[in-house]
Structure 1
Amino acid sequence: MDTTNPLNLVVIVASNREGRFAPVVADWFTARTAERDDFTTRIVDLAEVDLPSALSHTPSPAVQAELAKVAPVLDAADAFVVITPEYNHSFPAALKSLIDWHFKEWQAKPVGFVSYGGVSGGLRAVEQLRQVYAEMHAVTVRDTVSFHGAHGRFGDDGNPLDPTGPDGAAKSLLDQLGWWGHALRSAKSTHPYAG
């Protein structure tokens, strides 16, 4: 674990639905990142960003204002974690809009996933996101954190009722993200990515 030059980790909260469960999962996960010295963490909450799904080569002033909220944050990131629910066997439209409105911001950076949902725990959304991020020239890490039946897995205090599995999964995810983040940042410093 390299604590001398922490990675700039951006955590993307993908749900923007009213009454969403996302803040519970996001608060738990960012508490895990706060325990580590090898990351500094920023959050991009898609409930606070309004990007249309239709792309344009000349975005309107309103879209430019929304892009100005997030593009510099994404660009400065060394690594990403996407916290996503599964909606209709896929991931939220707001997340697809965020991904599609950016390109170079994702390139040659690692992406990890924390998912939640019903029986599948959001893993179907994650598997689709792996394909999307590959097209963005990002590297997705293997290990994920997944909560099936998420509403019943957390207590009133916002923590998992049984933290052993989730805490171990979060550590594995962050360890892999750290390795890839440092390796890619180092590689890009000596040989710019030719995507």
Structure 2
Amino acid sequence: MSAAEAVSNASTASAAAHEDAPLRVAVVVGSVREGRAGGAVTDWFLGFAERHGGLELDVIDLAEVELPLVMPGWGGTPTPEAAAVLADVTPRLADADAYVVVTPEYNHSFPAALKNLIDWHHGQWRAKPVGFVSYGGLSGGLRAVEQLRLVFAELHSMTMRDAVSLHGPWSGLGEDGVPRDTTVSEGAAKNMLGQLLWWGRALRTARATQPYEG
């Protein structure tokens, strides 16, 4: 075997190993409201996602992330308080290959704390896939998700076509935050995670091969 062939084979093996590595997924819990159902919904989703396999999950709970609303101008420096929070959160978002956003619907939209986290960051979201787990009343949080799709499109993210939507408490979501019909909910989660894995691996390989310049 020539030296060129050896290098080529090593490169191919490295690419294959990289492609098969677990997908690093940051799960962002968007609600900070007292008495929220978001914690229970997230726990249910994490339990299913861990059984699904192929994922390395990192939970970012915005109830524990005290980002200020006041941001510096372009090129400015965050306050020491903001910098301390960003030092923990930003690297985790940057290291993620993909994201799952768990969000309720408030007044036909998504929580302000979630928009604040998104706006504090920019390049971290680019050329990465985003899946959604939403919950709410009759709409199941779908109106919040549709608005989030517009936001993430502006940030050059790829949102998953299929989402998990939990309607409750009188429909599909129990008072404890766990879906009443786990067969339907787990089917939706399986579809969303399947898409997230495909896009996550494809875009991870693409970013490693050629930096995104969109």
- Paired positions, count: 194
From 101, 107, 111, give the equivalent of 1:82.
Answer: 101
Higher Rg of the two aligned structures:
2
Distance 1:99 1:151, change over 3 A: farther
Runs of 4+ aligned structure 1 residues displaced above 4 Å come to 154-158
TM-score, structure 1 length as denominator? 0.94
Amino acid at match of 1:38: G
Name the structure 1 match of 2:13.
none
Q: Quote the Cα distance in structure 2 between the aligned partners of 1:77 and 1:151.
A: 35
Task: List runs of 5+ in structure 1 lacking aligned partners.
Answer: none
Of 138-147 and 46-55, deviating more is: 46-55
Contact 2:69-2:116 at 8 Å conserved across structures: yes
**Structure 2, gaps ≥5 residues long:** 1-16
Equivalent residues of 1:116, 1:150 under 8 A apart? no
Q: TM-score, normalised by structure 2?
A: 0.86
Identity of aligned residues (%): 57
Partner of residue 212, structure 2: 193
SS of corresponding position for 1:83: strand
Deviations 1:5-40 (A, max 9, x none): 110011000001111110110000001111133111
What does residue range 28-177 of structure 1 map to in structure 2 within 5 Å? 28-56=44-72, 57-150=76-169, 153-155=172-174, 159-177=178-196
Q: State the alpha-carbon separation in 2 of the partners of residues 150 and 194 from structure 1.
A: 44
Deviation at 1:116, TM superposition (A): 0.4
- CA RMSD of superposed structures (Å): 1.7
Cα distance in 1 for residues equivalent to 2:143 and 2:179: 22
The structure richer in helix per residue is: 2
